[in-house]
Amino acid sequence: MGTDGARYESRYAARARGVVSSAMRDLMALSERPEIISLAGGFPATESFPPEVFSELAEVVARDHLAGALQYGPTEGLAELRARICDVMAVEGAVAHPEHLMVTSGGQQAIDLAIRTFVDPGDVVIAEGPTYPGAVPTLTTYQARVVHVPMDGDGMRVDLLEETLDRLAAAGERPKLLYTIPTFHNPAGVTMSLERRRALVAIAHERELLVVEDNPYGQLRFEGTPLPTLWELDGGAGWVVYLSTFSKILAPGVRLGWVVAPPPVLRKMNLAKQATDLGSSTLGQRFVLEYLRRFDYRHHVARQNDIYRRRRDVLLRALEEEFPAEASWSRPGGGLFVWATLPEFVDTRELLARAIDRHAVAFVPGQAAFLDGRGGSSMRLNFSGVPEERLVEGVARIGTAIAETVELQRVFGGGA
Amino acid sequence: MRVAVLKGGRSLEREVSLRSAANVEAALRRLGHDVTGIDVDQHLVRTLRAERPDAAFVALHGKGGEDGTVQELLEILGIPYTGSGVRACERSMDKVVAKAAFATAGLPTPPWFAFSEDAFREMGAADTLGEIRARLGLPLVVKPAKQGSALGISVAHEPGDIPRALMAALSYDDRVLLERFVAGREIAVSVLGTEEPEALPAVEARPQDRDFYDFEARYTPGLTEFVAPAPLTPEEADTAARLALECYAEIGCRGFGRVDMILDAEGWFWVLELNTIPGLTDTSLMPKAAEAAGMDFDELIARVLAQADLGG
């Protein structure tokens, strides 16, 4: 009983059929094994969260708010939490009103709600290439046709975006939305310049292009001046939907994020959220709310950023030492990730097999960040969740796997 | 009976093993056994000593689980286990060793050459690719010697494909084989038993729009059409069964196993490999073979467990 998958096959929805097994997915699951040094995760350093703060919050919730924290809550989230989230956004200069904001179950749900609210099967969505690997299954599930726009050190190539839009328009296609991570991009590790931000918002206004701005990492800045969000630059024109999360500034375990959108859009997303989960965990919301009432989260973020900056520096130094001269990589001024690109003959999925099997080290192969099969010689490396000496050892091991591959390429003469 | 189901581990087929094990554990519970799933890690020996199971069902695939390593540990601990013993696992895990055994016994297997990564790096083995191509012809198949689920296997259609295929295969193992590509039907014969092993009805896998039965075709429902029993003439079915039993005996298998072969256009069978721990996932071949023999999954698992043993 239950072992015969065939009986369900004819019953699966088209959106579920698109999500298939792959050798790559199996390999990535293996990277979570404890014996493996994994630079594949996107994990904040949760070990730095003070246990006494947690105890205090748990006690406050138990003493003063227990019945409410255990009860259903409003779909859009606790009113005071929404107000306090607006304060969090204000730190980055983004003005939002609580009534335009909905609490979600992590930033991932905010992405899901945005895509499902706008995208029918076959609709065109524009995304950076590479894009957030976690958005790939979402876009696949809703059967979006994703057109990637290349990036460079200043983020999305807005000139190429215009070309893409022209090309689509000539073919009678109108993209439903553009999904972007302007600041400390996952996985590219780059930040969109101010000039490009302005140009992108101008294009959005001129062409009535809906921009979904995903900003989980904006406050994880190690250096340089903060840049305005697209939401701010939009100036209330209504062409930007803004997503963010507590996962990186507080902890992913609370599973809380948010979306800010023009009121008609927010109403649609609210209905979609009702269908999904009625509302996000009231317990988690109460916990975060009490935290924000009592503590300045920016101290926690500053502490985290100190750890991340050191880890980034260690990773970049290790890359200089261990990666071949032909490799290139981003030097992020914040966030969690570095994107490295190797010589074209290196297939990073094969490299991952070698790395896991023979060197007990893992990373995310670049193809996971594309929906069109590109990214084959790139990789995403996380530094936030890996202690410094493990980072050094991990990069050394990946470097060995690369050196073996380069040597084989030399032996095989690069062709017949 | 207290049964420990060994699963997962660090092999590249970890996820496949977890899928097999989930089915095995469910079946063993339905059969009334006291089941503990053990994800194999560095504490395995300690865990087994603490659990003291009456038997271990080895639902591991690939390195560590299918190559005799775990079997050796179970021998030392004196815990009877399912499937083949240490020697048979060692001989079948490496396709090169298994093919040599088949060839020596006069069992048909496509001609091949095998090299280690070091041979390419240190002895100029790549300079022989011209001769290899001349002897094996094109297309040819390039495989990692010790890897399951078709990981790292590719078919080289042009001379220029061979280096790329070798690079891919060497990512999955430090030894590779280049094998003559035999076009034909993918036939798998599962074998059950120890003293008097029986061949179950052959199953044919018909991967859709692919060179061969690759990883995605194996584990994505709908990508492969399975026909069980395979539509063979009575003579072909007899030959396939006899071949599978001879391979099984030659390697010295116990409990269960699966022999993968190709039936070419002239009606000849070619043995590709023998698996000492056949997949038991929803899309795996052996459960389909059992079903074709009128045996449900639980009965298959019961019979495999009944032959758990030591030695061999």
Same-domain pairing of B263 and B132:
no
Q: What domains lie within chain A, and their CATH numbers?
A: 18-42+299-411 (3.90.1150.10), 63-294 (3.40.640.10)
pLDDT in tens, chain A (416 residues): 444 566 777 788 888 776 666 777 787 888 888 889 999 988 888 888 889 999 999 999 999 999 999 999 999 999 999 999 999 999 999 999 999 999 999 999 999 999 999 999 999 999 999 999 999 999 999 999 999 999 999 999 999 999 999 999 999 999 999 999 999 999 999 999 999 999 999 999 999 999 999 999 999 999 999 999 999 999 999 999 999 999 999 999 999 999 999 999 999 999 999 999 999 999 999 999 999 999 999 999 999 999 999 999 999 999 999 999 999 999 999 999 999 999 999 999 999 999 999 999 999 999 999 999 899 999 999 999 999 999 999 999 999 999 999 999 999 875 43
What confidence tens digit (pLDDT) does each residue in A395-410 have? 999 999 999 999 999 9
- Residue A351: closest C-alpha in chain B: B171
Query: Residue B203: inside a domain, yes or no?
Result: yes
Query: Residue B172: inside a domain, yes or no?
Result: yes
B184 close to B207: Cβ distance less than 8 angstroms? no
Same-domain pairing of B100 and B208:
yes
Same-domain pairing of B176 and B187:
no
Asked if B113 is an interface residue toward chain A (Cβ–Cβ < 8 A), one would say no
Answer left, alpha or beta for residue B152, where phi above 0 means left and psi between -120 and 50 means alpha: left
- What is the percentage of chain B residues whose pLDDT exceeds 90? 88
Among A26, A30, A408, whose Cβ lies nearest the Cβ of B170?
A408
- Three-state secondary structure string covering chain B: CEEEEEECCCCCCHHHHHHHHHHHHHHHHHCCCEEEEEECCCCHHHHHHHHCCCEEEECCCCCCCCCCHHHHHHHHHCCCECCCCHHHHHHHHCHHHHHHHHHHCCCCCCCEEEEEHHHHHHCCHHHHHHHHHHHHCCCEEEEECCCCCCCCCEEECCCCHHHHHHHHHHHHCCEEEEEECCCCEEEEEEEECCCCCEECCCEEEEECCCCCCCHHHHHCCCCEEEECCCCCCHHHHHHHHHHHHHHHHHHCCCCEEEEEEEECCCCCEEEEEEECCCCCCCCCHHHHHHHHCCCCHHHHHHHHHHCCECCC
C-beta atoms of B222 and A9 within 8 A? yes
Among B163, B180, B197, the domain boundary falls at B180
CA distance B219 to A306: 44
CATH number at residue B222: 3.30.470.20
B34-39: strand order across its sheet: B34-39, B2-7, B55-58
C-beta atoms of B12 and A412 within 8 A? no
Q: What is the extent of the structural domain holding B145?
A: 112-180
CA distance B224 to B35: 32
C-beta atoms of A26 and B117 within 8 A? no
CA distance A353 to A174: 40
What confidence tens digit (pLDDT) does each residue in A136-179 have? 999 999 999 999 999 999 999 999 999 999 999 999 999 999 99
Same-domain pairing of B277 and B197:
yes
Cα–Cα distances (Å) from A273 to A107, A134, A245, A281, A404, in that order, read 13, 19, 16, 13, 49
Same-domain pairing of B60 and B27:
yes
Cα–Cα distances (Å) from B45 to A181, B49, B66, in that order, read 47, 6, 17
Tell the residue number behind the tokens 């496509």, with chain if given: B110
What confidence tens digit (pLDDT) does each residue in B208-236 have? 877 778 877 777 777 888 999 999 999 99
A390 close to A37: Cβ distance less than 8 angstroms? yes
Cα–Cα distances (Å) from B207 to A379, B150, B213, B221, B226, in that order, read 31, 13, 6, 11, 8
CATH number at residue B17: 3.40.50.20
Q: Which B-chain residues 202-231 have CB contacts (< 8 A) with chain A?
A: 215-216, 219-223
Identify the DSSP state of A48.
G
Same-domain pairing of B266 and B192:
yes
Same-domain pairing of B142 and B241:
no
Q: Percentages helix, strand, coil for chain A, rounded to the nearest 5?
A: 50, 15, 40
Same-domain pairing of B214 and B268:
yes
Name residue B309's amino acid: D
Among B180, B197, B216, the domain boundary falls at B180
CA distance A241 to A218: 16
Same-domain pairing of B243 and B284:
yes
Whether B131 is a known active-site residue: answer no
CATH number at residue B174: 3.30.1490.20
pLDDT value of residue A21: 61
Same-domain pairing of B159 and B189:
no
Taking alpha carbons only, the member of B91, B92, B140, B93 closest to residue B112 is B140
Among B180, B203, B226, the domain boundary falls at B180
- Collapse the DSSP code of A103 into the 3-class scheme (helix H, G, I; strand E, B; otherwise coil) and give the result: strand
Whether B23 is a known active-site residue: answer no
Catalytic residue among B9, B65, B83, B279: B279
CA distance B118 to chain A (A): 10
Residue A74: Cβ-neighbour burial (10 angstroms; 0-12, 13-18, 19+): middle
- What is the percentage of chain B residues whose pLDDT exceeds 70? 100
Of B223 and B19, more confident: B19
Identify the DSSP state of A253.
G
What confidence tens digit (pLDDT) does each residue in A258-295 have? 999 999 999 999 999 999 999 999 999 999 999 999 99
Query: Residue B312: inside a domain, yes or no?
Result: no
CA distance B159 to chain A (A): 6
Same-domain pairing of B155 and B188:
no
C-beta atoms of A3 and B63 within 8 A? no
Mean pLDDT of all residues belonging to chain B: 94
What confidence tens digit (pLDDT) does each residue in B121-142 have? 999 999 999 999 999 999 999 9
Among A5, A35, A416, whose Cβ lies nearest the Cβ of B282?
A5
Q: Which A-chain residues 22-41 have CB contacts (< 8 A) with chain B?
A: 22-23, 25-27, 29-30, 33-36
Cα–Cα distances (Å) from A131 to A115, A335, B307, in that order, read 14, 15, 51
Asked if A72 is an interface residue toward chain B (Cβ–Cβ < 8 A), one would say no
Query: Residue B311: inside a domain, yes or no?
Result: no
Q: Which B-chain residues 153-192 have CB contacts (< 8 A) with chain A?
A: 158-160, 162-163, 166-168, 170-174
CA distance B228 to A234: 62
What confidence tens digit (pLDDT) does each residue in B254-309 have? 999 999 999 999 999 999 999 999 999 988 999 999 999 999 999 999 999 999 99
pLDDT value of residue A4: 56
Tell the residue number behind the tokens 């993918």, with chain if given: B186
pLDDT value of residue A2: 47
Q: Which A-chain residues 297-356 have CB contacts (< 8 A) with chain B?
A: 345, 347, 350-351, 353-354, 356
- Provide the whole-model pTM: 0.90
Same-domain pairing of B36 and B141:
no
Q: How many domains does chain B have?
A: 3
Query: Residue B141: inside a domain, yes or no?
Result: yes
